[in-house]
């Protein structure tokens, strides 16, 4: 049976504003193991690290473009070992090399992308691999059939044009507030930029954008995902911006709910 597998990607050299997301993987593991909570998902699956949730540790990533090849290779090895990747960023640039390894395994893949920002820049200040660009690269390479974005409140003219060019389905926060929800079909990959959640719930990010999703809204969205859920990432948590430790337990909760949903949607009845 496919096994949800945690893999840490401590890389933040493609951040456009503030570094620090490279420190997230150990902080999320610590929150997963913290005795302030238990290891169960809300649907009552025990998601213990090293058990229901395998853990292959962190990749060794230099702060250069070489990191992308190492991520692609690391995800490929994880897939060959029968794992379902649950990747911990790092900045959002890691999603492109993840999909380079994963996308060809899943024809017809839909990506659900939760983020304040569309991350669709053709290049950002000359860098086509910036954390502001991964979904432009993924769609150019045909690594997913459908991209559905939720939580968006940082759109601009250029990215709006890119969304139209690539046929991206954008459910921005105004549409969300009107009650619009994504209609999804598997196979599904979920990419969660923690800044998609409102900074009142998740202050530990590099780009705080008010007016976002609540923790509850994101958790409920994950619990209702169709299957199979074939991979996921949780990116852009910046522990240095999380002074009272609100964001690490949220990331741990998202990991538990994602792993639980992976199990529920890939198990044979
Ligand atoms: Mn973002
Ligand atoms: Mn992002």
Contact 234, 202 (CB under 8 A): no
Q: What are the Cα distances from residue 98, in Å, to 27, 32, 119?
A: 21, 23, 15
Contact 249, 32 (CB under 8 A): no
**DSSP conformational letter for 199:** T
List, in order, residues 6 or more apart from 158 with CB less than 8 Å away: 121, 122
Contact 117, 132 (CB under 8 A): yes
Contact 149, 170 (CB under 8 A): yes
CA–centroid distance, 1 to ligand 2, in Å, is 31
CA–centroid distance, 235 to ligand 2, in Å, is 8
Which of the four pLDDT bands, split at 50, 70 and 90, describes residue 124?
very high
Encode pLDDT of 11-43 as tens digits. Answer: 999 999 999 999 999 999 999 999 999 999 999
Model pTM above 0.95? yes
Looking at residue 269, what is its pLDDT? 53
84 class by beta-carbon count within 10 Å (0-12 exposed, 13-18 middle, 19+ buried): buried
Encode pLDDT of 156-204 as tens digits. Answer: 999 999 999 999 999 999 999 999 999 999 999 999 999 999 999 999 9
Separation CA 140–CA 154 (nearest Å): 22
CA–centroid distance, 268 to ligand 2, in Å, is 33
CA–centroid distance, 193 to ligand 1, in Å, is 5
Looking at residue 78, what is its pLDDT? 98
CA–centroid distance, 268 to ligand 1, in Å, is 35
Helices (H) and strands (E) in the chain, counts: 8, 8
Separation CA 38–CA 26 (nearest Å): 18
């Amino acid at each position: 049976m496919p096994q949800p597998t945690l893999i840490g990607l401590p890389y933040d050299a493609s951040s456009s504003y503030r570094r620090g997301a490279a420190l997230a993987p150990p902080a999320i593991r610590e929150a997963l193991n913290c005795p302030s909570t238990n290891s169960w998902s809300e649907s009552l699956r025990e998601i213990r690290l090293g058990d229901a949730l395998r853990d292959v540790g962190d990749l060794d990533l230099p702060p250069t473009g070489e990191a992308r090849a190492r991520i692609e290779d690391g995800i490929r090895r994880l897939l060959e070992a029968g794992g379902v990747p649950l990747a911990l960023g790092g900045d959002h640039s890691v999603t492109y090399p993840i999909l380079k390894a994963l996308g060809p395994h899943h024809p017809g893949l839909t990506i659900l992308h939760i983020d304040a920002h569309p991350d669709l820049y053709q290049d950002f200040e000359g860098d086509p691999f910036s954390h502001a660009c991964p979904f432009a690269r993924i769609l150019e390479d045909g690594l997913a059939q459908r991209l559905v974005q939720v939580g968006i409140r940082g759109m601009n003219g250029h990215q709006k044009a890119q969304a139209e060019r690539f046929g991206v389905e954008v459910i921005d926060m105004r549409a969300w507030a009107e009650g619009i929800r994504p209609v999804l079909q598997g196979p599904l990959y979920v990419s969660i930029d923690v800044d998609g959640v409102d900074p009142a719930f998740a202050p530990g990010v590099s780009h705080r954008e008010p007016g976002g999703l609540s923790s509850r809204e994101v958790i409920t969205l994950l619990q209702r995902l169709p299957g199979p859920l074939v991979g996921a990432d949780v990116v852009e948590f910046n522990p240095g911006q999380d002074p009272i430790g609100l964001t690490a337990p949220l990331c741990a909760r998202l990991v538990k709910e994602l792993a639980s949903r992976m199990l529920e949607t890939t198990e044979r009845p």
